[in-house]
Amino acid sequence: MSFLNVVEIESALIGLASSYPSVTQLITLPYFTVEGRQSHALRIGTGPCRRSAVLIISGAHAREWGGPDICINFAADLLEAYSLGTALIYGGTAYSAAEIKSIIERLDVIVFPDVNPDGRNYSQNTYPMWRKNRNPASSGGQASKIGVDPNRNYDFLWDFNAAFAPGAQAFGTLASSDPSSDIFHGIAAFSEAETKNVRYLFDQFPQISWFMDIHSFGGDILHSWGDDTNQSGSLSINFTNAAWNGQRGLPADAYGEYIGACDLANVAAAANAMKAAIAGVRGETYAVAQAFFLPSWGSPYPTSGASDDWTYSRFFTDPTKRKVRAYTLEFNTVKTFFPTWAEMQQIILDVDAGLVRFCLGAVPRFSLSYWLCWWRHRLNDAIWHRVFPPELWGPYGPWARIRRAVESILFPIVAPLLRLLGTGARRRSSGGSRRR
């Protein structure tokens, strides 16, 4: 065993969908990569009352090899534990069968393990340190200028030259208009098939309310925002306000990105629960932080066009969209993109334990619509069908036969009467209309 290649990832998804057909849906994503690959995602969920969804994506950056492996194992673990009705145990972190059941029956968990298959294929076979996709559109025929960074291509402050302070580019993380850069942001927001496929999932599943983008490395769980320091004081200071163009991306200045105090407490709490679940497996310590202060980087890490910020920002630009708790996870506390497979197997257990906790956090604790739905189905199954069994009350049962018999007697008498009354009513109303 080793890291999955791009063909194995797709066949693993197809295999899981065919092994667990009643609990899964294989989603064929519509946008083909420039090398002609079609990607899939897997939706896991059953039960009639699912009202919320979690989207987990990975593989945006080609060289961050373990992400898709984490996702495939996570999906397989959830499905196996649910179908067997067993607990799920990762080292010292354990989840009961009831907890797994609540995830599968009350949530949709959508996993899109390999966002950038062209890049992964190139990294695994030709040049391991490759990061971007393989789009040659801006290369002018030069191999060194191939590729767009999918995680700078989302529609959040994509035009970094206008939105950010010139000084913010000194951190080397924001984005670049130079095609030879590892953080080239493309020719427009959502210009790339890889990001369009992610957007497609949000469009198809508007109930997505939790989002996780898995990257490496560092051992970090990152929450909103990634463009600037968080602030909860002034709603008008935010990414939609053009008056602040040219000032974003620097710490300790007038601009901070607005996040409500409750939102911030909620996103941090879920990240800390995930951190504890990861630590429980074998003692790995992941850091929880705002994405702008990526701890393993050591200095501010402003970004534009990133998946997590776009995901959270949609609610602010269009209130008909759900508010999504959005995260980026950087797995592996050792600073390498290429852990040994033996080490990667340990990391998979760490992160999958964290992802189960993440999903448990997304299970609605109390939702009126969920409980109404649950009771309706419970009553339907347990009471309604027992008190009013279809064989008694259905169209061929005795009561329907009695009703039909009574109708057949009454109809010849009642129908002419009704016709007479109807004619009388029509005459009166037409008389009324003549008087006008």
- Write down the least CB distance from residue 3 to Zn ion, Å: 16
DSSP 9-38: HHHHHHHHHHHSTTTEEEEEPSPPPTT---
In order of 130, 176, 184, 203, 429, the CA distances from 125 in angstroms are: 10, 26, 22, 34, 84
Distance separating alpha carbons of residues 247 and 239, to the nearest angstrom: 11
Site stretch for Zn ion (CB under 5 A), options 16-24, 59-67, 223-231, 413-421: 59-67
Cβ nearer to Zn ion, comparing 61 with 199? 61
Cβ nearer to Zn ion, comparing 138 with 216? 216
- Write down the least CB distance from residue 222 to Zn ion, Å: 11
Q: What's CA 331's distance to the chain center, in Å?
A: 18
- Write down the least CB distance from residue 59 to Zn ion, Å: 9
- Write down the least CB distance from residue 249 to Zn ion, Å: 19
Cβ nearer to Zn ion, comparing 40 with 61? 61
Cβ nearer to Zn ion, comparing 93 with 224? 224
The count of residues in the chain is 436
Site stretch for Zn ion (CB under 5 A), options 40-48, 207-215, 350-358, 375-383: 207-215
Q: Which two tokens stand for residue 133?
A: 């996709």
Q: Please, what is the end-to-end C-alpha distance for the chain in angstroms? A: 89
Cβ nearer to Zn ion, comparing 61 with 223? 61
Report if residue 61 touches Zn ion, rule: CB under 5 A.
Answer: yes
Cβ nearer to Zn ion, comparing 209 with 328? 328
Distance separating alpha carbons of residues 144 and 127, to the nearest angstrom: 12
- Cis, bond preceding 393 (omega within 30 deg of 0): no
Cβ nearer to Zn ion, comparing 64 with 228? 64
- Write down the least CB distance from residue 40 to Zn ion, Å: 21
Residue type for 362, please?
A
Q: What's CA 300's distance to the chain center, in Å?
A: 26
Residue type for 225, please?
W
Site stretch for Zn ion (CB under 5 A), options 54-62, 77-85, 270-278, 290-298: 54-62
Site stretch for Zn ion (CB under 5 A), options 192-200, 209-217, 254-262, 410-418: 209-217
Helix, strand, coil shares of the chain as percentages rounded to 5? 45, 15, 40
SS3 2: coil
Sign of the torsion angle spanned by Cα atoms 369, 273, 212, 88: negative
Site stretch for Zn ion (CB under 5 A), options 35-43, 69-77, 213-221, 428-436: 213-221
- Write down the least CB distance from residue 67 to Zn ion, Å: 8
Cβ nearer to Zn ion, comparing 151 with 230? 151
Site stretch for Zn ion (CB under 5 A), options 55-63, 226-234, 277-285, 288-296: 55-63
Cβ nearer to Zn ion, comparing 209 with 332? 332
Report if residue 215 touches Zn ion, rule: CB under 5 A.
Answer: yes
Cβ nearer to Zn ion, comparing 45 with 66? 66
Report if residue 120 touches Zn ion, rule: CB under 5 A.
Answer: no
The footprint of Zn ion on this chain (CB under 5 A) covers a number of residues equal to 3
- Write down the least CB distance from residue 69 to Zn ion, Å: 15
- Write down the least CB distance from residue 61 to Zn ion, Å: 3
Candidates 141, 148, 155; CA nearest to 183 is 148
Report if residue 134 touches Zn ion, rule: CB under 5 A.
Answer: no
Cβ nearer to Zn ion, comparing 61 with 248? 61
Contact mark string toward Zn ion, 63..92, x via CB under 5 A:
-x----------------------------
- Cis, bond preceding 217 (omega within 30 deg of 0): yes
Site stretch for Zn ion (CB under 5 A), options 61-69, 120-128, 302-310, 412-420: 61-69
- C-alpha torsion 368→370→376→382, nearest 10: -120
Q: Which helix (H) or strand (E) holds 76?
A: helix 66-84
Q: What angle do CA 298, 302, 308 make, to 5 degrees?
A: 110
Exposed e or buried b per residue across 270-297, where buried means at least 16 C-beta atoms within 10 angstroms of its C-beta: bbebbbebbbbbeebebbbbbbbbbbbe
**Binding residues for Zn ion (CB under 5 A):** 61, 64, 215
